[in-house]
């Protein structure tokens, strides 16, 4: 299906309070422009180099989100323009973002990634680690913790996915009670499970292949 049609279909599923992040990783600039022309302004990328290239060439009113696993030594390349970093999974990374943000005179919005899936390969803090981290992060002056992000297990089992989202939502509510008022974003849901994620309380979905089609990792 054309990108335009896909976006219209997805928009029908979204309630007004849910932000759509169009995950454009591995897709060319022409595809992004097509979505942009449909009114989309929030795009997600997972590789620093690819993101920087797209940022340079594409319209400056695009809000770029980093959704991948961010390496500490690459923070400085994106810190001057990134709108939201979804996958913060260590205090070491947060410390580096804080340091680089200070250097550029910005306050950078971040989400803490929680490990909710059963797969070992996925990144993120455990619930207990987050509970401890949430206190320490108050000391960082140039990062603002806006909420949580999580990825469910890659499985056909809807019940399991639902339970994982439910767990993340309850952790989010628990922390919301003690965190700052800016702690208001719950990033969960991708192409295969964003409807379920919204039912479970997501405020931000990251949708790639349902908009742009299959990704070609070989290119
Ligand atoms: C690639 C990616 C997505 C989008 O995945 P789709 O299944 O194509 O919608 C969402 N979130 C993260 C963290 C990703 O890496």
23 C-alpha to center of ligand 1: Å? 6
Residue nearest to atom 12 of ligand 1 (CA): 67
Whether 135 shows a pLDDT value over 90: the answer reads: no
CA distance 5 to 192: 17
Two structure tokens written together for 77 = 């390349």
Nearest CA to ligand 1 atom 11: 206
Asked whether the beta carbons of 46 and 21 are under 8 A apart, the reply is no
Cα of 191 to ligand 1 centre, how many Å? 7
Q: How far away, in angstroms, is 178 Cα from ligand 1 center?
A: 29
* pLDDT (tens digit per residue) in 139-154: 899 999 999 999 999 9
Residues with CB under 6 A from ligand 1: 23, 25, 46, 67-68, 151, 190-192, 206-210
Phi/psi of residue 108, nearest 5 degrees: -105, 130
pLDDT in tens, 109-123: 999 999 999 887 778
pTM of the model: 0.96
Which residue's alpha carbon is nearest to atom 6 within ligand 1?
Answer: 208
Least confident stretch, 53-62, 133-142, 155-164, 208-217: 133-142
Cα–Cα distance measured from residue 26 to residue 183, given in angstroms and rounded to the nearest whole number: 30
CA of 151 to the centre of ligand 1 (A): 9
Residue closest via CA to ligand 1's atom 15 equals 68
Q: Please report the atom of ligand 1 found closest to the CA of residue 151.
A: 13
Q: Residue 190 Cα, ligand 1 centroid: separation in angstroms?
A: 6
Ligand 1: nearest atom to the Cα of 190: 9
Q: Which two structure tokens, joined as six digits, stand for 138?
A: 């108050």
User: Which residue from 120, 121, 191, 119 is spatially nearest to 154, judged by alpha carbons?
Assistant: 119
Distance 105 CA to ligand 1 centre (A): 30
Cβ atoms 25, 48 nearer than 8 A: no
Residue 121's pLDDT is 74
Average pLDDT of 193-210? 97
């Amino acid at each position: 299906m054309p990108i335009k049609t896909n976006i219209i279909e997805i928009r029908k599923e979204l309630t007004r309070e849910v932000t759509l992040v169009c995950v454009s990783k591995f897709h060319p600039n022409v595809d992004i422009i097509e979505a942009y022309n449909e009114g989309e302004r929030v795009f997600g990328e997972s590789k620093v180099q690819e993101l920087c290239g797209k940022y340079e060439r594409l319209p400056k009113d695009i809000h770029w989100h980093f959704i991948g696993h961010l390496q500490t030594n690459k923070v400085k390349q994106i810190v001057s323009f990134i709108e939201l970093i979804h996958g913060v999974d260590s205090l070491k990374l947060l410390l580096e973002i804080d340091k680089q943000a200070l250097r550029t005179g910005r306050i950078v919005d971040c989400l803490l990634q929680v490990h909710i899936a059963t797969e070992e390969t996925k990144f993120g803090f455990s619930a207990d680690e987050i509970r401890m981290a949430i206190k320490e992060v108050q000391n960082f002056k140039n990062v603002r913790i806006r909420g949580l992000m999580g990825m469910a297990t890659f499985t056909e089992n809807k019940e399991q996915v639902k339970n994982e989202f439910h767990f993340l939502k309850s952790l989010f509510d628990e922390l919301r009670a003690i965190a700052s008022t800016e702690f208001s974003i719950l990033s969960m849901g991708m192409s295969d499970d964003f409807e379920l994620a919204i039912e479970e309380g997501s405020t931000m979905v990251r949708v790639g292949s349902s908009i742009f089609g299959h990704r070609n990792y070989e290119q």
